[in-house]
Amino acid sequence: MEDKLIILFENDDYFIIEKPAGITVNRSDTTTGELTLQDLIEAEDKIAKEDIDPEFINRAGIVHRLDKETSGVMIIARKSMSFRALQAQFKERIVEKSYLALVHGEIKPDRGEINAPVGRLPWNRKRFGVLAGGREALTYYETHTVFQDPKTNELLSLVILYPKTGRTHQIRVHLKHINFPIFSDPLYGGRKVARNDRRVLPRVFLHAHTISFQDPKTGEAVNYKSELGEDLQNFLKLLSALKS
């Protein structure tokens, strides 16, 4: 895991990073003794400390989050003005994101939508699921490539996902809901399946691929991309591509 920020772009108002897998985004009571993304941002002195907005300072400019094992592109605000503007864009669903995930099975149809409410499970507060009383959650998906594992002959699909809402664990829960769990997902992949997966890939195969939003100062539409990391690319090389 990297101990410094991987910066893809920066200006006076925000910067774009590539978050590695294995690092928690926000510091909390449960991250004592653990290096977080927030620690790295503060250590590199990337945000305006003279700014007096307490939420901006307490969050070190972090506008949104990714799960610990999820890698990929993120926006960090450098000033409270851009922090608030970007927060508003997320709330108004102006920000558009895409993710890449490798799932068990061949998804059919190869493109579609998953519209199912997501909420925290009452019997397990660390997990989320599709619940009647959950919050609205919508994800569009499109199959990129179908692979076969030469060792097990199992079919696996590399899928592009476009979440239109931002619920915690939304993509992971939605893919489990349609019976195509993400490879190496310890929470939603099934205990035995995930244990076998993690022998060959010790992280969830989920990557934040692109993000698009309006520049908080100019209003111009901007977009940024993070390609799959070496660990995920190397894993795909072990598989046989069947169709794309």
Alpha carbons 106 and 19: distance in angstroms, whole number: 28
The DSSP annotation for 173-239 comes to HHHHHTT-PBTT-TTTS-HHHHHHHHHH--S--EEEEEEEEE-TTT--EEEEE-PPPHHHHHHHHTS
3 is catalytic: no
Sign, CA torsion 88/93/94/96: positive
Torsion angles phi and psi, residue 156, rounded to 5:
-135, 140
Strands, E, within 52-192: which ranges? 71-77, 96-104, 111-115, 118-121, 124-130, 138-148, 155-163
**Residue at 62: amino acid letter:** I
Tokens of 177: 């809901």
Q: Which one of the listed residues 67, 110, 149, 215 is annotated catalytic?
A: 67
CA atoms within 13 A on the CB side of 158: 21
User: Which residues are catalytically annotated?
Assistant: 67
